Amino acid sequence: MAKQEQPGLLIVEIGGVRGVLEGHVELLKKHFHLITMKEFLKKKERLSEKIKSVLIYECRPVIDRELLQSLPHLKVIANSGVGVDHLDLKLISSFGVKVTNTPHAVSDSTADIGMALMLASARRLVEGNFLNSFHFAADWLGDEVTGATLGIIGMGSIGYKVAKRAKAFEMKILYHNRNQRKEEEEQAVGARYCEKMEDLLQQSDFVILVVNLTPQTHKLIGKRELELMKPTATLINISRGAVVDHDALVEALQNGIIKAAALDVTNPEPLPRDHPLLKLKNIIITPHIGTATVQATRMMTEEAVANIQAVLNGLPIPSEKLSEPG
């Protein structure tokens, strides 16, 4: 009996800066016939008939109308990661193609980076790392996280895991979300709901952003919001760079409107070398490494595989991403 041909999976490349990690290739090959963009562009006429799915890794390959029109049998685009702001969901849906993401794989690692940034900023670890001689402790006084008030903007799976970690630090937890969590979920982490984001900003010692980037959250934190924060407060962003107005943030950090900021995401990524944020001492910037762990990247690939297989086999999709109404 002839072996059934594996469905074609389009990927940008294997290895490299934005390619599929080499350690994950064997996992993918168990289920799919891998086709790189380079191969596809060379033999488009023959390979376009074979491709039924696309795996997006580090926002590549770029999905546009031209690519969608060239893949007549495409069923699903599987994004490796949570955010899909780089995908035109309405356009993709108009071709009858499903979009999936991997929210379960990344929640722990992203929550961890949020806590790491908060602790590093509070205790001035990055500034202290550049010392080549000991200074008096008084020169490096930081802030204690224990007992401080943490405001979480966006209480989805990642935000809730941040709250779980913050509870262990005996922090007071406020949160703002489109929908209030169930009472038992709030009680489990000791979180209090703020219907108005302004109330959270005014009360928090640390504000952490954990929202999806949408038209509604673009520049969610601007001049007005920063001025509502305490002058002793720190802003932490582990969502998307465009959620924060960078010009307003520079002004706030320079003029003492807030004490500090810690960002795992910027807009653009990376920032230009001459960007004002890079010249400030009261900021920490990491290169979007929230999901950059051995465990998370492996789980992202496994979750993407499960999503693709569900679509191709007509089964319930674990993590489908639907376009916003309107």
| Active centre residues (catalytic) | 240, 269, 288
Instruction: Assess contact for 277 and 283: CB atoms under 8 A.
Output: yes
Strand partners, 48: none
Closest CA to 252 of 270, 272, 277: 277
| Burial track 207-238 (b if 16+ CB lie within 10 A, e otherwise) | bbbbbbbeeebeebbeeebbebbbeebbbbbb
Q: Residue 118 contacts by C-beta under 8 Å, 6 or more apart in sequence?
A: 145, 150, 206, 208, 234, 236, 262
Strand partners, 73: none
Q: Which two tokens stand for residue 16?
A: 């490299």
Beta strands 8-11 and 33-36, pairing class = parallel
Strand partners, 207: 151, 235
Instruction: Assess contact for 261 and 234: CB atoms under 8 A.
Output: yes
Number of H-type helices and E-type strands within the chain: 13, 12
| DSSP classification of residue 317 | P
Q: What is the spatial distance between Cα 203 and Cα 104, in angstroms, rounded to a whole number?
A: 30
Instruction: Assess contact for 40 and 32: CB atoms under 8 A.
Output: no
Strand partners, 56: 79
Beta strands 283-285 and 98-100, pairing class = unpaired
Side chain identity, residue 278: L
**Percent helix, percent strand, percent coil in the chain, to nearest 5:** 40, 15, 45
Radius of gyration of the chain (CA): 22
